[in-house]
Amino acid sequence: MTGQIRLGAGILNQTPLDWEGNLRRVIAAVEQARSQNVSILCLPELCLTGYGCEDMFLAQHVLDTAWKMLLRLLPQTMGLAVTAGLPVLLDGHVYNAVAMLVDTRLLGLSLKQNLASDGLHYEPRWFRAWPRETQTLYYSAVGSIPAGDLRYEICGLRTGLEICEDAWVPDRPGQRLAAAGVDVILNPSASHFAFGKQQQRERLVLEGSEAFDCSYVYANLVGNESGRAIYDGGGMIADSGRMLQSGPRLRFGEVQVISSDASVRRGAGTSAVAASTPSDCSIPLIRSGWNPVAASGTESVSDLRNHRKVLPEATAGEADKAEEFTRAVALGLFDYLRKSRSRGFVISMSGGADSTACAVLVRAAAELVFLELDAAERQHLLGYLQDDAVCRDADALTARLLTGVYQGTCNSSETTRQAAELVTHALGGVFLELDIDSLVTGYRVAIEQAIGRNLSWQHDDIALQNIQARTRSPSVWMLANLQGALLLATSNRSEASVGYTTMDGDTSGGLSPIAGIDKNYLRSWLQIMQTVGAAGIGPFPVLRLVNEQQPTAELRPRECGQTDEGDLMPYAVLERIEQLAIRERQAPVEVLRALSAELPDQPVEQLVIWVRRFFQLWSINQWKRERIAPSFHLDEHNLDPRTWCRFPILSGGFRHELDEMDRAAAELRPQS
């Protein structure tokens, strides 16, 4: 006898320790699944607590409350099976658990076997990895619950779990589950966004479903969950190497369920892989005793598979880096805004690329709110602003959210002032202008009187540049405070790598949205946003006022002709040195040799200057990177020491290695 069953994957925007909100969204997903006739629903990892609880996972009251939320969820699961993630305490250790809830009954607790420990992941700090093929009992008020490495029989299907990182290791639990005859593997995940990462996930799902000859369900979080990591959703359902259903990525909504039919042979019990498996399999089978699967007559398995709905392939734009960057950071900004209950954004608009990029991303967030959310969702997410106008259209929302402030001195140009004003207005924001020259002069005079000498550009260049940037900070902070808004810091990754930024100046802010992206890319992205835009966003022709400029801090007198690349090096070279030195961990001499081969027209002497400058500035400016406001993790190029790249604040500064480079440079010079 054959039949079919509908599998579902939930995509949730959760918040750590938002107990009532998290439970409400989980129940909403259950209701969506029920409306789609889903029988087995996979929800994301740690969905009851939120994934990013950090050290609060070790707090007993958090563990207790998570269990209470699980018990409140149980009655909502009548008529379907649901996975729900939470931390549990067993024998003095905390484990990352997924509860299998079936028709109001808690069937078992599957415990994560492989913990994520690289980059922004610190799971071993809070959780212990569960040993494979072992089981125990968890004693609770509802009785003793099987826990550990488990299989379940649900609706005639043998079901197992790979919990996020479990699927990313060579020895995947899925291999053992397949040998034990599972028909469905569920993967509750909390997999953060990174450029191009979705293609890797698709391979894991498709290759897993093919290699294990099963249906595979992948569920993920979406949104800026806890400040730095952005999750991109993208739930998937596959079967034997075929993608049956895939959900949208980087969507602004809080809850979505995707579903697809899978075939089941009632009475057959196991897949072909299990036919020769010994009956004393080391992964026990927990039977639910619940089976609503309807018989479907004489149709064959292949017939049923042909009836499954296969969605169109993802469009090229969804995989494009510019599209991903726009949507990911816009979503990060919007979620950070509403979850912190801030009332808008204030940006110190310099008329240059960095502050302009931040403003464009705020506008993109406003556009996507109206593209993706219906009126009820907008009211739900923005109601705390107590302003009905913000729900009218993207223009009204941008006017409410974006304040751009230009703060000029005698070293500022009309070009940047005009760019700042026209860009802010064109994007729909409120523009303010402050003349801070008298404030800068006041600081300078006070210091000159205190030290008994006049300051000059010949002897006091850095101090005179920095005081201008720092004088801008109190004003924009005051505006942010008056509005209850978030002040956005505008530093990018390239400048953070060499400390080309003024602490308590352009680094001032509660959030640093572009600190994870390099300047070279930002400039090319702004060109795209000027001419093409992103899907449903822009283009913004006014950006030519910024794109036609040569980046400059405008902190020296105008006759100096200051440019960022003149102070540092070409941004393309800076990015390449950063890649070789930091991501690939090459020594200065190795970096020099690589650049010499790639840039044969550049004199070796110039390359030596640039490489030396990078390593020296990198070393002495780690303290600045430690102090940058929370930034979004966009890829493995991130330099934020709290999420990816760690370096000592005090070090030898590569002096030995730079001396070696100087000696080797002679070999690279053309012989006369």
Given a cut of 90, whether residue 120 has pLDDT beyond it is no
Same domain, 431 and 543: yes
* CATH code, 483: 3.40.50.620
**What integer pLDDT is reported at residue 300 of this predicted model?**
30
Which long-range CB contacts under 8 A does 598-601 form with residues at least 24 apart?
599/573
In a domain, residue 98? The reply is: yes
Same domain, 581 and 499: no
Say which range, 162-171, 296-305, 473-482, has the weakest mean pLDDT.
296-305
For the segment 344-376, what is each residue's pLDDT rounded down to a tens digit? 999 999 999 999 999 999 999 999 999 999 999
Same domain, 520 and 416: yes
Q: Give yes or no for a contact between 173 and 162, defined as CB atoms under 8 angstroms apart.
A: yes
Same domain, 101 and 54: yes
Same domain, 283 and 404: no
In a domain, residue 526? The reply is: yes
pLDDT cut 90: percent of the chain above it: 83
Given a cut of 60, whether residue 309 has pLDDT beyond it is no
Range(s) of the domain holding residue 232:
2-314
Same domain, 306 and 347: no
In a domain, residue 443? The reply is: no
Band (pLDDT 50/70/90 cuts) for residue 420 is very high
* CATH code, 189: 3.60.110.10
| Residue 141 neighbours by CB distance under 10 Å | 7
Band (pLDDT 50/70/90 cuts) for residue 281 is low
In a domain, residue 442? The reply is: no
Classify each residue of 578-601 as buried b or exposed e, where b means 16 or more C-beta atoms within 10 Å of its C-beta.
Answer: bebbbeeebbbbbbbbbbbeebee
**What integer pLDDT is reported at residue 548 of this predicted model?**
94
Split into its structural domains, the chain has a count of 3
In a domain, residue 243? The reply is: yes
Given a cut of 60, whether residue 489 has pLDDT beyond it is yes
In a domain, residue 73? The reply is: yes
For the segment 24-52, what is each residue's pLDDT rounded down to a tens digit? 999 999 999 999 999 999 999 999 999 99
Same domain, 143 and 24: yes
In 3D space, the residue among 572, 562, 561, 563 whose CA is nearest the CA of residue 602 turns out to be 572
In a domain, residue 458? The reply is: no
pLDDT cut 70: percent of the chain above it: 92
Average pLDDT, the chain: 90
**What integer pLDDT is reported at residue 3 of this predicted model?**
64
Q: Give yes or no for a contact between 65 and 59, defined as CB atoms under 8 angstroms apart.
A: no
Same domain, 540 and 602: no
Last residue of a domain, one of 314, 344, 366: 314
Band (pLDDT 50/70/90 cuts) for residue 558 is confident
* CATH code, 662: 1.10.10
**What integer pLDDT is reported at residue 141 of this predicted model?**
84
- Concatenated DSSP letters for 68-107? HHHHHHGGGGTTSEEEEEEEEEETTEEEEEEEEEETTEEE
Band (pLDDT 50/70/90 cuts) for residue 444 is very high
Same domain, 391 and 260: no
Given a cut of 90, whether residue 123 has pLDDT beyond it is yes
Given a cut of 90, whether residue 287 has pLDDT beyond it is no
For the segment 239-250, what is each residue's pLDDT rounded down to a tens digit? 999 999 999 999
Last residue of a domain, one of 562, 581, 602: 562
Band (pLDDT 50/70/90 cuts) for residue 468 is very high
Band (pLDDT 50/70/90 cuts) for residue 2 is low
* Mean pLDDT in residue range 624-635: 94
Token duo for residue 384: 């705390």
In 3D space, the residue among 286, 306, 293, 285 whose CA is nearest the CA of residue 267 turns out to be 293
Q: How far lies 207's CA from each of 73, 185, 211, 301, 526, in Å?
A: 33, 12, 6, 20, 37
**What integer pLDDT is reported at residue 38 of this predicted model?**
97
**What integer pLDDT is reported at residue 285 of this predicted model?**
82
In a domain, residue 444? The reply is: no
Band (pLDDT 50/70/90 cuts) for residue 339 is very high
**What integer pLDDT is reported at residue 389 of this predicted model?**
82
Given a cut of 50, whether residue 1 has pLDDT beyond it is no
Query: Vertex 539, ends 326 and 552: CA angle to 5°?
Result: 75
Same domain, 16 and 102: yes
Last residue of a domain, one of 493, 527, 562: 562
Same domain, 636 and 539: no
Same domain, 426 and 534: yes
For the segment 66-99, what is each residue's pLDDT rounded down to a tens digit? 999 999 999 999 999 999 999 999 999 999 999 9
Band (pLDDT 50/70/90 cuts) for residue 303 is very low
Given a cut of 90, whether residue 284 has pLDDT beyond it is no
